[in-house]
Amino acid sequence: MWIKFCNRSLIVKFVAMMIEKHISALLYRYQCVTVPGFGAFLTEIKPSYLDAGTHTFYPPKKLVSFNANVKNNDGLLANHIALQEKISYTDAVAAIAVAVDGWKQSLYNMDVIALKNLGELGLNTEGSIVFTPNVPVNYLTQSFGLTSIVSPAVKREVFKAEVEALEERAPILFTPERKRNYSYLKYAAVFAVLLGGTAFKVYNDNRVAQQTLAVEQKVQQKVEQQIQSATFFIDNPLPAVTLPLKEAVTEKLSYHVVAGAYQSEANAQKAVSELVAKGYKARKLKANKYGLYPVLYGSFARHAEAKKSMREIHKNGDKEAWMLVQEL
């Protein structure tokens, strides 16, 4: 019995050392991963953009942030650890608690906690946790195989000075012995110079356009080659992503503000009744694969609306409310 207890204790400590590995794996599929008793790691999608200073194109990616106010155990991390490490749910919760105690002790000693593929955690002068993201991987699955691309700027040459120099050197001849007016020769020479300059400009514009097109084709070919040659090795491969057709008739309510998850369906229904009495469009979801009944404050079609509602709920006293992004 003592040997079995020692082995369990060693397993819990060993799993506690790899908590960030499981957090990182969950961020590929979820917007919020909560570490019970410590805080939550959140993600937000940043669209592709161009850095004009370095002429670099960056693909879309997920930005990782940290919220120390979300500490409620939703069962996501513990169940994932139990399945992956083949241990009980209780041992998984115990491993998380060991890791959290170690993190809190490090912060108390004013040490910086480095979490692989996530970032660094530390305390500021006010004693609040500050998260510095350092994400070498892109958690946005739609961007797999896409890397930053540097495209040299197209150099556009200016020939105005050369044309002016040609105009200054254009020969205009006059014969002083004759009193006939040769002013038309001056205009003919200027017209010839302008005609030559115009033809030269048209030729140059065509050449610049061809160079621009060639650069754009090279960039496109490089992106396509990287997509075709991209190979990924993931411990837990994700299911195939099916992109639904856009429907203009109704908006999908994909953003939900979660009040909590209950093991008892009766307690979940009681929580829904209390929230409805307070004026919320609350509802209870079916039991998830962990056997918990999530209770929602409400559902929204846009991320900004859900975020605004969650902030108001935090101000009203429930700082444990968090956001779920899922099509129900």
| 255: number of Cβ within 10 Å | 22
Q: What is the CATH number of domain 255-325?
A: 3.30.70.1070
User: Given CA atoms 239, 240, 243, 249 in this order, what sign does their dihedral have?
Assistant: negative
* Euclidean distance between CA atoms 299 and 282, whole angstroms: 9
pLDDT digit string (tens) for 218-248? 655 664 565 444 444 444 555 555 555 555 4
| Backbone angles phi and psi of 56, in degrees to 5 | -115, 130
The whole-model pTM stands at 0.42
pLDDT digit string (tens) for 83-140? 988 889 999 899 999 988 998 898 888 898 888 888 888 988 888 888 888 767 777 7
Task: Determine contact, residues 16/99, Cβ cutoff 8 Å.
Answer: yes
pLDDT digit string (tens) for 242-298? 555 555 456 788 888 888 888 889 998 999 999 999 899 899 998 888 788 889 999
Give the type of residue at 263.
Answer: Q
- What are the boundaries of each domain within the chain? 2-144, 160-229, 255-325
| Between residues 295 and 170, the one the model is more confident about | 295
* Euclidean distance between CA atoms 112 and 326, whole angstroms: 34
Burial 59-94 (b: 16+ CB within 10 A, else e): bebbebebbeebbbbbbbbbbbbbebbebeeebbbb
